């Protein structure tokens, strides 16, 4: 069912649990506060939203993203392109594939709240991205497992299986070593409470390394068990990109996976991220940084 909102903004859900396409919004120019509020509401309702045919240069993308909140720098580890401090280039020529389930940058104290990825170049076939709703995944847990998850704390690290899989093909150029040369670790609740909606969601993904208070094997078993609920097909939506598409996702209640099925073809997007708060658990305890200082990234200061 398509919902008609103010200013002719249309929100069309794509699945029962996650994802919606928004039409009637041109993010390249000025927008009334009411329209931005409708986009934000759709984002909270559907976790990831997609806008086709957006013609955006860097200043326009930054200007629109700032309507959702203050921006971070492009990445806590890699330098941004010259003159574009808030951009992270997602370029397959640089080995940026992200073909692993993850929530962005959970190894820092304040992972981004929202991410906006604008598609620039696509392969002839393939290159879809899949998102999962970690709030509906949490709600689907059996009661006993949900109660256990509420109490767990998880350590996230930039030196993890996600890093190994994503950057192994670049090790010859030293990029993998660069990525992990400065260790970053943060301890977060396994279940976070969304600061705007109050929803509970699972905070896991590829950077999750170990469970506090559990041995290595039992911790891995717990993470795998909980993660299986996130990636069930019922919790996911798959987006087939077109050049000009803008995807906006709530990094506080999703995971995503960029499907690497396009061989050596070029795939390129430009991402900016909105700064997020420290995740807070059901018991009110916030996450905390264990290793590495990423305050400049989160504050967006070049």
Which residues are bridge partners to 188 per DSSP? Answer: 154
Residue indicated by tokens 């943060």: 186
Pick the catalytic residue: 104, 159, 245, 250?
104
Pick the catalytic residue: 86, 88, 146, 256?
256
Tell me if 107 sits within 8 A of 207, measured CB to CB. Answer: yes
Distance between CA 259 and CA 9 in Å, rounded?
30
Annotation says 200 is catalytic: no
Give 260's contacts (C-beta < 8 A, 6+ positions apart). Answer: 97, 99
Annotation says 102 is catalytic: yes
**CB neighbours of residue 263 within 10 Å:** 10
Name which of 287, 289, 255, 281 is nearest 191 in CA terms.
281
Q: What is the largest CA-CA distance in the chain?
A: 54
Annotation says 86 is catalytic: no
Angle between helices 216-230 and 143-151 (to 10 degrees): 120
Residue indicated by tokens 């264990």: 290
Annotation says 256 is catalytic: yes
Distance between CA 239 and CA 252 in Å, rounded?
19
Pick the catalytic residue: 86, 88, 102, 267?
102
Q: What angle do CA 75, 196, 48 make, to 5 degrees?
A: 60
Q: Which residues are known to be catalytic?
A: 102, 104, 256, 271
């Amino acid at each position: 069912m398509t919902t008609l909102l103010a200013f002719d903004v249309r929100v069309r859900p794509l699945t029962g649990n996650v994802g919606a396409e928004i039409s009637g919004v041109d993010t390249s120019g000025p927008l009334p506060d009411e329209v931005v509020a409708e986009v934000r509401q759709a984002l909270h309702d559907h976790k990831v939203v997609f806008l086709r045919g957006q013609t955006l240069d860097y200043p326009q993308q930054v200007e629109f993203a700032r309507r959702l909140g203050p921006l971070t720098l492009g990445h806590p580890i890699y330098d941004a392109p010259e003159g574009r401090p808030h951009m992270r280039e997602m370029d397959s020529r640089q080995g940026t594939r992200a073909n692993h389930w993850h929530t962005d940058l959970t190894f820092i104290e304040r992972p981004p709240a929202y991410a906006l990825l604008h598609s620039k170049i696509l392969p002839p076939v393939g290159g879809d991205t899949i998102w999962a709703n970690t709030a509906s995944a949490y709600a689907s847990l059996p009661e006993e497992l949900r109660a256990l998850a509420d109490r767990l704390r998880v350590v996230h690290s930039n030196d993890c299986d996600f890093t190994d899989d994503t950057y192994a093909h670049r090790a010859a150029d030293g990029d993998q070593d660069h990525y992990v040369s400065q260790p970053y670790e943060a301890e977060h609740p396994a279940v976070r409470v969304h600061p705007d909606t109050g929803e509970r969601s699972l905070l896991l993904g590829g950077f999750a390394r170990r469970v506090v208070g559990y041995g290595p094997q039992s911790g891995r078993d717990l993470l795998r068990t909980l993660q299986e609920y996130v990636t069930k097909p019922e919790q996911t939506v798959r987006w087939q990109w077109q050049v000009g598409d803008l995807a906006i996702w709530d990094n506080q209640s999703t995971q995503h996976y960029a499907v690497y099925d396009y061989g050596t073809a070029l795939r390129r997007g430009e991402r900016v991220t909105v700064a997020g708060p420290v995740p807070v658990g059901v018991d009110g305890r916030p996450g905390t940084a264990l290793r590495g200082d990423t305050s400049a990234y989160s504050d967006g200061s070049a």
